[in-house]
Structure 1
Amino acid sequence: MKMITAYCNLRADECLVNGEVVARRDAGSEDSWFKQIYRQLDLGYPKFYKMDVLSQAGYLAMELIKKANPDITAAYADDEIALVFANASSSAETDRRFMQSYETGGSPSPSLFVYTLPNIVLGEIAIANKWYGENMFAVLPKFAPGFYLNYSEILLASDSCALLGGWLEVTAGSTDVFLFMVEERENGTEFNNGNLLHLSQTGLVAAY
């Protein structure tokens, strides 16, 4: 049976893994929220600092899942984990910064241009983990559990053995990140519409 075996919710002020709060934002810190999490995890992955906020969010959520569940990906070959992500604003935050770099600096920033597509986060996660499986990024009006359920049927019926799903909505005004792992297991939370919707809302009241 398809089960959600791990998940991470990253909000504006706190981060939860499998429903448990693992980090809270220090409002007095000079570091951004994502940098605070990165330092707490002691990751030692310098490329993090070059990523846009969307890629940082996806990378951190994946690392948090792995930290809480160290063996979660060990059973799979490097091409057996599929990535299926979505959000509502695409790469709007980076697009805005890219336009500003042109308007204020006189020339567009190449380092920002790299991230003016939302699916770059998939590449960053794949590179960091040396994964080569199927991946796709969709832009949807809102979080839609049915999208992940339908797409998983296609992927898990082919060469993929597990799925990492993600909703990554990161803008200047909000942070709404939900990553979850789906595997064929006997234990876990059943992978269905109701459970996905429920888990995606974990931490919302506390964060806002």
Structure 2
Amino acid sequence: MSLITTYCHLSADQCSVNGKVVSTRERSAAGSWFKQIYKEQEFVYPKFYKMDALSQAGFLASELIKRANQGIVNSYKDDEIAMLFANQSSSADTDLRFMHSYEHNGAPSPSLFVYTLPNIVLGEIAIINKWYGENMFAVLPKFAPGFFADYGRILLSTGAKAVLCGWLGVLGDHIEVFVWLVENESENGLDFNKENLLELAGI
């Protein structure tokens, strides 16, 4: 049976794992909200500072899930974890920054151009973890639990033993991130279905 074993939420003001708040935004703190979480959680990955906001969100949520579920690191081969992500705005947050750099600096920023595809976040997570399973990033009109449940089951029936799924809503000050891990061979968790996804997501 496929079960949701771990999940993480990022909003504009809070970060939680399995429903427990692990970080609350300090508006007076220097740097961005995502950098505040990174420092508080004492992650060590210097490339984080070069990522765009979408990739930072995916990095933080996936690392927090790994920390809460240590088994994910050693229980699977490098091609047994698939990734299935989606959002509503594609890479628009970075696209707007890229356009701004072009209009105001006279030349586009190469460091921003790298992130003008939403699936780059999957590449970042795959590189960090050396995960080489199937991956897909979809752009949908809204959070669609049925899409994740149906497509996730296909991945789990065609070779994957776990799927890291995520809705990465990041656009300016709007942050609506919900990332979760589905495992085929776990004994603890919630059934992987659209009803439970809708309830957990709170979107």
* TM-score, normalized by the shorter chain, greater than 0.5: yes
DSSP 3-state at the match of 1:72? helix
The answer to whether residue 97 in structure 2 is matched with residue 103 in structure 1 is: no
Structure-1 residue corresponding to 2:45: 45
Equivalent AA in structure 2 for residue 189 of structure 1 = L
Shift of 1:56: 0.1
- Size of the alignment, in residue pairs? 202
After superposition, the CA RMSD in angstroms is 1.0
Query: Which deviates further from its counterpart, 30-39 or 150-159?
Result: 150-159
Structure-1 residue corresponding to 2:81: 81
Q: Deviation digits for residues 164-191 of structure 1, max 9, x if unmatched? A: 0000010113100000000122321111
The answer to whether residue 18 in structure 2 is matched with residue 23 in structure 1 is: no
The answer to whether residue 184 in structure 2 is matched with residue 186 in structure 1 is: no
Shift of 1:125: 0.4
Q: Aligned partners of 1:190, 1:154: CA distance in 2, in Å? A: 15
Shift of 1:61: 0.4
Shift of 1:7: 0.2
Percent identity, please.
63
Structure-2 residue corresponding to 1:195: 196
Q: Aligned partners of 2:201, 2:40: CA distance in 1, in Å? A: 23
DSSP 3-state at the match of 2:182? strand
Q: Deviation digits for residues 70-103 of structure 1, max 9, x if unmatched? A: 2233210011100000000000010000001110
DSSP 3-state at the match of 1:95? helix
**Structure 1 unmatched ranges of 5 or more:** none
Q: For 1:1-208, what aligned pairs fall within 5 Å after superposition?
A: 1-184=1-184, 185-201=186-202
Equivalent AA in structure 2 for residue 80 of structure 1 = E
**Structure 2 unmatched ranges of 5 or more:** none
Equivalent AA in structure 2 for residue 197 of structure 1 = L
Q: Aligned partners of 1:154, 1:197: CA distance in 2, in Å? A: 19
The ranges of structure 1 where at least 4 consecutive aligned residues each deviate by more than 2 angstroms after the TM superposition are none
Q: Aligned partners of 1:150, 1:123: CA distance in 2, in Å? A: 23
